[in-house]
Structures are given as C-alpha cells and as structure tokens.
Amino acid sequence: MFSLKKCLQSLKGGLGGSWKFLLPALGLSGFILMLGAVDKMDSRIEEKCEVLQVDVSACASACAMPSHVDLSSGNFPIQRSEAEWRARLTELQYKVAREQGTERPFQNLYHDNKAIGLYRCIGCATPLFSSTDKFDSGTGWPSFSKPIDARTLGEHRDESYGMIRTEVHCAVCGSHQGHVFPDGPGPSGLRYCINSASLEFEPADSVEAIVELVQQWYGASAAKDR
C-alpha cells in the first residue's frame, strides 16, 4: 500500500517507468498537461491535511490511461450501429464513450461543476450519478462516491498498461464511463473517476427534483417494457 501523496510524488519524479506507456497514449502535450495536473493534485492534498492510503494502481496515472477492454459481446438493451453512434456523439464523446478513450484532466466540462443535478449517460440518457454524490478528488475528472443505481453500471477487469483496474460502463448501452478505485470517501470507500465526455448534466432545482427525474426515467422504462 502507498499513500496517494507519495504516489503523486513518484509520478513527478520519474513515473516509475510508466512514462513509456503514458507518452504514446497521451501524446506530448497531454503528457505535459498530466504532469501539471499532478502538481495541482499534490497541492490540494496538502490543503486537506489528510493522506489517503491507496494502492498504487489507484493514483493519478491510473485515471489518465485509456481503457482496453472488450465490450463488443455485451448484450446491452440499447444497440446502435457505428453510423448511428457517430451521428449522435461529438468526436470527443465518441472517442471516450465508444473507443474507451480518456479526456484531459482539469480541461473537461464537469470536473469542477458544483451545480445540483443529474448526470446521465451520454449514449442513452440513463441516470447514472447524482450531484449529491459528487466530490472534489483533486484528479481533474468528475468523481462520485457511488452511482444512483448499481444496476445501471457494468464493470470489467482492465489489465492494460501493466495495471489492474476496474473499468465501468453504462449497462444500458455499453458506453465507457471511466474507472472505479477503492480510495473514495464515505461508507462506500469508492471513487468513480468518470469522463465528462461520457456524461450529460441535467440541472435540477433541488435534491428532491433529482429524485423526481430518476423516477420519471424508471417510469418511462417500465412503460416501454409493458
């Protein structure tokens, strides 16, 4: 076990050989941005005055790496052709949600979003996360302690880049969301590190309004199944 602070320091000091994977995956500009993100993360952790004890695979480098798992055989309720996906999504959304890419830290739409509301899957509008479970992990990506309903998220073991991670995707349409790590706050102890490009945010006036939006979605889904 390593402290997150030490893990980040090791990244800045040489990345422990991981740079061989990071540089070609992120490109030079992305690699430099990631190093800057590490500096920001380190300072935020200092401010919190508490060092989280996590496995090395749960540090910042694990969030920055794209995923390589095979979801092609998934029997997801919503199926679309490649042409339909490309017509529905922007280039970045397609790269992340359908090709398991990773967006840049601190330069994405929702990492610092503090508004009340619902986070839906970009591929099918399934409600996945609530703003009530969002927290600032200091990583530069939207982070949540839990999903609204665990049944709406699928998990897959991801062994790419010499790491063992847990990839998460929408269980309704198979769109890649990010990864989940065992270093989060609260009772769950989990941190869902999610790409903004995989999400669509719907503002709400209150927590009660979020619940109503979720109930409406489940009601509409149940009506379709009848």
Q: Which residues carry out catalysis? A: 193
Distance CA 110, CA 143 (A): 10
Distance CA 210, CA 214 (A): 6
Which DSSP state fits 112? T
Q: Which residues face 199 on adjacent strands?
A: 121
Which DSSP state fits 132? G
Distance CA 76, CA 183 (A): 29
Distance CA 171, CA 148 (A): 13
